[in-house]
Amino acid sequence: MNRTSDALSGIATNARSQSKHPFRFASVLVTLALLSVSGHANAQSARDGFNYETWDQYLGGHDSSQFSSLDDINRSNVNELEVAWTYETGDRGSYLFNPIVVDGVMYVLAHGSTFVALNAATGEEIWRHENQGRVGTRGINYWESRNGRDKRLLFLNNGLLTSINATTGETITSFGNEGFVDLRIGLDGDISQVRALQTNNPGRIFEDLIIMSLPAGGGSYASSPADIHAYNVVTGELEWIFHTVPRPGEFGADTWPATIDAAYGGVHNWSESTVDTERGIIYIPTGTARYDFYGGNRHGANLFGNSVLALNARTGERIWHFQTIHHDLWDYDLPTAPKLLTVTHDGQKIPVVAQPSKQGFLYVFNRETGEPLWPIVERPMPKSDVPGEQSWPTQPIPTAPPPFARQSFTEDDINPYLPEADKEKLREMFATYRVEGIYTPPSVQGTLMLPGHNGGANWGGTAVDPDNGLLYVMSKELPTTANLAVPEQPSRELIPNADDDFVPYRAPVDFMIQSNGLSAIGPPWSNITAYDLNKGEIIWQVPNGNVAALEKYGITGTGSHAPRGGLVATASGLIFVSTSSDRKFRARDARDGSVIWEHSLPAASEGVPAVFAADGRQFIAIAVGGTGMFSQGLEQDEVGAGHYRVFALPQ
């Protein structure tokens, strides 16, 4: 038995609760009694409960449901929606921000890196808080004290966790160092040698903690530590740390080479996270160890890369985890917030957590124990032929639910709307590249991958009807290539665990966009898939939008090209979603996915809508701006000014 096998055997032996699946180690580190909320009653408790009436956190609430129980807008009247008000952002760039609304006040990102408070019913500006440099572009956190007098917004600005007064917009100087906490504090070694840790993942509030996932930086070999930190929201004090690359002696350390430098390795939660406030558990999906497409410097399974982590939100202790890919070579980060639902399974009500992936798989677990609802089977996969690489021989494949995205690309799938010269080049690629289905390793000769590392699910792209066990996922199918090569002049960067003869292979990113701006693969390029997780079945799947460049020729039903607009579901049976390549905002019938209403936009919309009530009316807000990803020739001067567009029924 080789060293890696010995290490994995040792982990399985030491796990307190050993699973029949060799890479899921569920351990009862904390009893369910300790995990239950114990008397932490405060003004925020109503928002912590799963009532779904508010939109006071990113993706709607701590649970990331992207679901609203408000039902004034329904199937019978949604076609009467009109623009109630707009707020100009002051520029023409893309906006991905998910607004939040608390006590009639909407908080948005605008004017570059400025946070603005607006009257949620009218759009009237209340205050501005200007920031210098970068801020998280997808969302912001809200917290209030037990007596409701202390109300704060927390966000990341140039790697500094920042706290401002939600009522006035002023910096709270008693937090951290004059209102700021450097995320690098708590890392090993000289933190001045680590660049500012800026990420678009806004983190999550739980009780009096804000839980932040540190970014790993770029996709190269060297990376910043991607630990998970929890800070006190009042003082800024660091409360606990979880190492996503285990330190020597910690659980999972034996799945890395013995000489791994603990300060490196990637394994970041760049996307989103979810809190089950009733159980006191935070679910964190992690990413790929560095480098994304070659692992000659990191032999082993590489825990906790590509894993769903269930941590005690109060202490950071691991409760359970599941690794969806061993020794990832495809940059298949887990890209979305895990989703919490209650389903009926084998005649019992079970609280579950569902995790969509870039690969198009949907993994479903008992959220308390980590046990899969349906078997997940280790299956043999193609072997790498790259010198120095040790690809993992098997990968875990869910037996149910079925995948929501295509997982193979053949000559028959070449896009029929391409020029013949492009088609011929693609046929030549099929003749020379490795094309062996999902998990075909990157190669020197070239590998075609579908879904590519920007395909499948992505941030903000999943919504649930949590009490009825329904899940809706927006996916894109965007093949990529992985052509490993050695740079002519490889930089002498710090590469963890690299021997003197280590070869720093690189794989330039190629999304296979062809000469007319379209993908190499034929449509549909984007789908919305509805699952009934009581049964583990797909109940419908429809293309998500169109492409403006093809619509003018009467070609529809293709799905939008690489959309980044998120989904929101409502109790009235509607799904709201925007698409960028045809600039539309739509309401769909949750029963079959059919379009009930659509609204044309002057620019792309790539963020998650917010559904809320103010002054007795139900509103839906979206961010609008920019050309969108892979815009098929649309120029910046064709784009309307960036703004927030807010819809309501006529008064």
| pLDDT single digits (tens) 618-627 | 999 999 998 7
Helix (H) or strand (E) holding 13: helix 3-14
| pLDDT single digits (tens) 151-187 | 999 999 999 999 999 999 999 999 999 999 999 999 8
Strand order in the sheet with 114-119: 100-102, 105-110, 114-119, 125-129
> 610 versus 247: which is more confidently predicted?
610
Q: Which of 168-172, 265-269, 605-609, 637-641 has the highest mean pLDDT?
A: 168-172
Task: Please compute the mean of the pLDDT values over residues 638-649 and round it to a whole number.
Answer: 88
| Per-residue pLDDT, 50 | 61
Number of helical H runs and strand E runs in the chain: 5, 36
- State the CB neighbour count (10 A cutoff) for residue 626: 23
Task: Please compute the mean of the pLDDT values over residues 520-533 and round it to a whole number.
Answer: 97
The whole model's pTM is what? Answer: 0.92
Q: Does any domain span residue 247?
A: yes
| 34: helix, strand or coil | helix
Band of residue 635 on the pLDDT scale cut at 50, 70, 90: low
Into how many domains does the chain fold?
A: 1
Of 27-36, 341-350, 406-415, 514-523, minimum mean pLDDT range: 27-36
Share of the chain above pLDDT 90, in %: 76
Task: Please compute the mean of the pLDDT values over residues 342-359 and round it to a whole number.
Answer: 97
| Per-residue pLDDT, 32 | 34
> 129 versus 47: which is more confidently predicted?
129
Q: Does any domain span residue 390?
A: no
Distance CA 465, CA 448 (A): 36
| 549: helix, strand or coil | helix
What CATH number corresponds to the domain at position 19?
Answer: 2.140.10.10
- The CA-to-CA distance between both ends of the chain, in Å, stands at 73
- State the CB neighbour count (10 A cutoff) for residue 429: 17
Band of residue 38 on the pLDDT scale cut at 50, 70, 90: very low
Distance of CA 81 to the CA centre of its chain: 29
| Per-residue pLDDT, 631 | 67
Band of residue 465 on the pLDDT scale cut at 50, 70, 90: very high
155 cis-preceded (ω within 30 degrees of 0): no
| Per-residue pLDDT, 93 | 79
Q: Does any domain span residue 219?
A: yes
Task: Please compute the mean of the pLDDT values over residues 450-478 and round it to a whole number.
Answer: 94
Structure tokens at 632: 């098929």
Contact 339, 353 (CB under 8 A): yes
Band of residue 540 on the pLDDT scale cut at 50, 70, 90: very high
Band of residue 24 on the pLDDT scale cut at 50, 70, 90: very low
CA angle 636, 642, 527 (to 5 degrees): 80
Q: Does any domain span residue 295?
A: yes
Beta strand 526-532 with 537-543 is antiparallel
| Per-residue pLDDT, 641 | 81
Task: Please compute the mean of the pLDDT values over residues 301-306 and round it to a whole number.
Answer: 96
- Is the pLDDT at 16 greater than 50, yes or no? no
| pLDDT single digits (tens) 115-158 | 999 999 999 999 999 999 999 999 999 999 999 999 999 999 99
| pLDDT single digits (tens) 576-605 | 999 988 999 999 999 999 999 999 999 889
Distance CA 447, CA 391 (A): 14
The residues near 573 (Cβ < 8 Å, ≥ 6 apart) are 74, 75, 589, 590, 591
Share of the chain above pLDDT 70, in %: 88
| pLDDT single digits (tens) 428-446 | 999 999 999 999 999 999 9
- Is the pLDDT at 31 greater than 70, yes or no? no
Task: Please compute the mean of the pLDDT values over residues 485-510 and round it to a whole number.
Answer: 74
Q: Does any domain span residue 234?
A: yes
Distance CA 206, CA 316 (A): 12
| Per-residue pLDDT, 636 | 54
Band of residue 490 on the pLDDT scale cut at 50, 70, 90: low
Domain that holds residue 263: 3-384+399-648
- Is the pLDDT at 2 greater than 80, yes or no? no
* CA atoms within 13 A of residue 599's CA, in its CB half-sphere: 24
The string of DSSP letters for 290-338 reads SSSS--TTS-S--TTTTEEEEEETTT--EEEEEESSSS--S-----S--
| 192: helix, strand or coil | helix
| 250: helix, strand or coil | coil
Band of residue 3 on the pLDDT scale cut at 50, 70, 90: very low
Q: Does any domain span residue 535?
A: yes
Q: Does any domain span residue 271?
A: yes
Q: Does any domain span residue 559?
A: yes
Mean of all residue pLDDT scores within the chain = 89
